[in-house]
Amino acid sequence: MKESLSSAHSEQGSVSLKAQFDALSDQGRQLIASYIDLFSNYSDLLKAKLKANLKILMTIFSLIVAAVMLLTMVWASLQVVFAYALVSTGFSWYASAGVVMTVNVVLVYYLIATAVKLFDKASGDLLDDFFNIDNE
């Protein structure tokens, strides 16, 4: 009698343990599926933001390329005029070339620093939603 009660109790315990393992396995699958959905939603949101901003970004890029080409032509002309004016006032070609190169280096440094600041701001505006952890 004790053996039958013991075996019935162990069968019942193993069935209960099996049910708990099955429930745990199902919960694990649900958790993994939830994380997959979460990452999928984040990637879909990033794709939607990029798609929405693609036209404006291409327009901005085209305008920047056109402006850079025009600015390069104007800048080259101004350098020639500036160097010629320095030589006309009595500077040697070497001194006028040094002054023109110094002005160029200063302006290139300023432009690079400004571009880095603008890129940081633009990339921050685009990606802040994904990498900020706020406890609101």
Give the domain range for residue 41: 2-131
pLDDT of residue 9: 55
pLDDT of residue 50: 84
Give the count of domains, the chain.
1
Position 10 in a domain: yes
Q: Which residue has the tokens 């006028």?
A: 96
Residue range 47-57: mean pLDDT, rounded: 83
The larger pLDDT score, comparing residue 135 to residue 32, is at 32
| 134 — pLDDT class (breaks 50, 70, 90) | low
CA atoms of 21 and 15, how far apart (whole Å): 10
pLDDT of residue 118: 87
Check whether 70 has a pLDDT greater than 90.
yes
Position 136 in a domain: no
pLDDT of residue 124: 75
CA atoms of 94 and 100, how far apart (whole Å): 10
DSSP structure string for 43-105: HHHHHHHHHHHHHHHHHHHHHHHHHHHHHHHHHHHHHHHHHHHHHHTT--HHHHHHHHHHHHH
CA atoms of 29 and 83, how far apart (whole Å): 73
Residue-wise pLDDT tens digits, 3-33: 555 555 566 667 788 888 888 888 989 999 9
Position 52 in a domain: yes
Check whether 46 has a pLDDT greater than 70.
yes
Position 74 in a domain: yes
Residue-wise pLDDT tens digits, 79-127: 899 999 999 999 999 999 999 999 999 998 998 999 888 888 877 777 7
